[in-house]
Amino acid sequence: MRDTGDHSLRFLKMHGLGNDFVVVDCRIGGPSVTAELAKALGDRRRGVGFDQLAIIETAAGVDAKLTFFNADGSSSATCGNATRCVARLLMDETGQTELTIRTGRGDLACLDAGDRRTSVNMGQPQTEWREIPLASEVDTLHLPIDGKPTATGMGNPHCTFFVDDAEQVDLDTLGPEIEHHPLYPQRTNVQVASLIGPDHLRMRVWERGVGITLASGSSSCVTAVAANRRGLTGRRVTVELDGGPIDIDWRDDGVWMTGPTAHVFTGTLTAAFLEAL
């Protein structure tokens, strides 16, 4: 998907339940994608716009390696929905139904779940304060923050509030306040969730470096884990996001997430855009 011969750059626009991504395929070479380029691409008015940028590269022992940037140009070790999107892309490309994709979270198993749905094993959640990480030793199940949220790591830090009605929370205010809370030295993703039925959660998300998004795979995973740890649900949960439902299953080998993906279009960044950076 790389070099077109005139110093332009090809990319794919994909999404998982409205959680949208720009995907750049660097497996055939080409210059590195920098934080500066990622930030320019993430601008929804002057660039392309995305929640995360995913860069595909080759790596020994796996089908592909992924590197992620947020829309503000900051890096992220993992992105569950982007991993599912790229897994579907590679499955369509190769005909494989099982893949392993390397991320900052580790080597993630990916499966074709049928009906154009894709599953990714995001690994075991991190519930110890140093692993998440937090700035000091606290009870991760009930943080010393108003609302007593739960802290969980999924290769990136999360803070989950359980509330009576997730729809009524002013996430535009709560999100940035908690993202930069001093308890989280690397900032944090923020979720508000409410139980709407047996093993059925409604969840809204504020992603660090992005803002409110229609969906988040890792946020869905940690919300299901936190709900189970607090005795609200079992280990198999449906999470209703702004962009639609996703299925989470916390198994002995990790947290599996399953849902649809979409490839919206393929485009080309012009040489003039790249040279202006």
Residues 6+ apart with CB under 8 A from 59: 65, 102
Scored b (16 or more CB within 10 A) or e, 43-68 reads eeeebbebbbbbbbeeeeeebbbbbb
Q: How far apart are CA 38 and CA 208, in angstroms?
A: 15
Cis peptide before 31 (omega within 30 of 0): no
The two tokens of residue 67 are 């590197």
pTM to 2 decimal places: 0.93
* Per-residue confidence in pLDDT tens, the chain, 277 aa: 344 445 678 999 999 999 999 999 998 776 678 999 999 999 999 999 999 999 999 999 999 999 999 999 999 989 999 999 999 999 999 999 999 999 998 999 999 999 999 999 999 999 999 999 999 999 999 999 999 999 999 999 999 999 999 999 999 999 999 999 999 999 999 999 999 999 999 999 999 999 999 999 999 999 999 999 999 999 999 999 999 999 999 999 999 999 999 999 999 999 889 888 8
Percentages of the chain per state (helix, strand, coil), in multiples of 5 = 20, 40, 40
With 0-12 CB in 10 A as exposed, 13-18 as middle and 19+ as buried, what is 153? buried
Q: What phi and psi values does residue 44 have, to the nearest 5 degrees?
A: -75, -10
Q: List the beta bridge partners of residue 34.
A: none
pLDDT at position 32: 73
pLDDT at position 6: 53
Q: How far apart are CA 117 and CA 22, in angstroms?
A: 20
What's the Cα-to-Cα distance from 178 to each of 69, 236, 272, rounded to whole Å? 20, 27, 39
SS3 272: helix
- Do residues 179 and 187 lie in contact, with contact meaning Cβ atoms separated by under 8 Å? yes
Residues 6+ apart with CB under 8 A from 46: 40
- Do residues 22 and 267 lie in contact, with contact meaning Cβ atoms separated by under 8 Å? no
Q: Hey, what domains does the chain have and what are their CATH numbers?
A: 9-122+261-275 (3.10.310.10), 150-250 (3.10.310.10)
